Amino acid sequence: MGGCMSDSQDTTDRNVEREIEKDKKQDTRAHKLLLLGAGGSGKSTFFKQLKAIHGEGHNDREKEGFKRQIHGQVVESIQLLIRQCKTVTKDPLPGIKDEDDEPFGNDDLDDARLSNSLKVEMTETEIAQFKIAKEFDQSCQYLLEIHGSRSALTEQLVTHVKSLWNECPAIQAMFEHRNKIGIPDSSAFFFNDIERIGRSDYTPDHKDIVLARYRTTGMTEKEFHIKDAVFKVLDVGGQRNERKKWIHFFDGVTAVLFVVSLTCYDEVPFEDVTDLAADVTLMNSMLESIKVFEDTLDFECFQKTGFILFFNKADLMQEKIKRVPITNAFPNYKGPQEFKPSVDYISKYFLSLNRVPEREMLLRFFFEYVLFVNYW
Partner 1 sequence: MDRIFTLTMGFMMGLGLDQLPQFCMKFSMSEATKSDMKWLNSQEETIHDPTGFQYLCRFLEVHSCSEYVWFLKIYLEFEYAMSDKQRLVIARKMVDCCMTPGEPFEINISYEMREEVCLTQRKNFFLQCAKNVKELNARFHRGEEVIVPPDMFDFVYKEIKKLIRDNYWLAFEKMCLTMSK
Q: Which amino acid, residue 87?
A: T
235 is in an annotated binding site: yes
230 is in an annotated binding site: no
Q: Sort strands 30-36 and 229-236 into parallel, antiparallel or unpaired.
A: parallel
Q: Which amino acid, residue 66?
A: F
238 is in an annotated binding site: yes
Question: Which residues between 47 and 76 bind partner 1 (CB under 8 A)?
Answer: 61-62, 65, 68-69, 72
Distance CA 156, CA 139 (A): 9
3-state secondary structure of 371: strand
Output phi, psi for 373, to 5 deg.
Answer: -75, -35
Asked if residue 31 binds partner 1 (CB under 8 A), the reply is no
State the virtual CA torsion across 232, 212, 291, 328 in degrees, nearest 10.
Answer: 150
Nearest to 221 by CA among 58, 36, 32: 32
Question: Which residues between 223 and 282 bind partner 1 (CB under 8 A)?
Answer: 236-237, 239-242, 244-245, 248, 270-274
Distance CA 107, CA 245 (A): 39
CB neighbours of 111 closer than 8 A, spacing ≥ 6?
none
Window of 27-35, 106-114, 133-141, 185-193 that interacts with partner 1 by CB under 8 A: 106-114
Of 37, 42, 182, 204, which lies in the binding site for partner 1, with binding defined by CB under 8 A?
A: 182
15 is in an annotated binding site: no
Any bridge partners for residue 366, and if so which?
371
Binding mask 195-234 for partner 1 (x = CB under 8 A): -------------------xxxxxxx--------------
Per rule CB under 8 A, count of chain residues that contact partner 1: 38
Nearest to 160 by CA among 92, 89, 214, 82: 82
Window of 101-109, 137-145, 281-289, 363-371 that interacts with partner 1 by CB under 8 A: 101-109
* Smallest separation, CB 350 to partner 1 (Å): 26
Distance CA 173, CA 185 (A): 14
Asked if residue 131 binds partner 1 (CB under 8 A), the reply is no
Question: Which residues between 333 and 362 bind partner 1 (CB under 8 A)?
Answer: none
Task: Output the known binding site for GTP.
Answer: 185-186, 235-239, 312-315
Residues in the site for partner 1, rule: CB under 8 A?
Answer: 61-62, 65, 68-69, 72, 102-104, 108-109, 112-113, 116, 147, 149, 182, 214-220, 236-237, 239-242, 244-245, 248, 270-274
Task: Output the known binding site.
Answer: 44, 185-186, 216, 235-239, 312-315
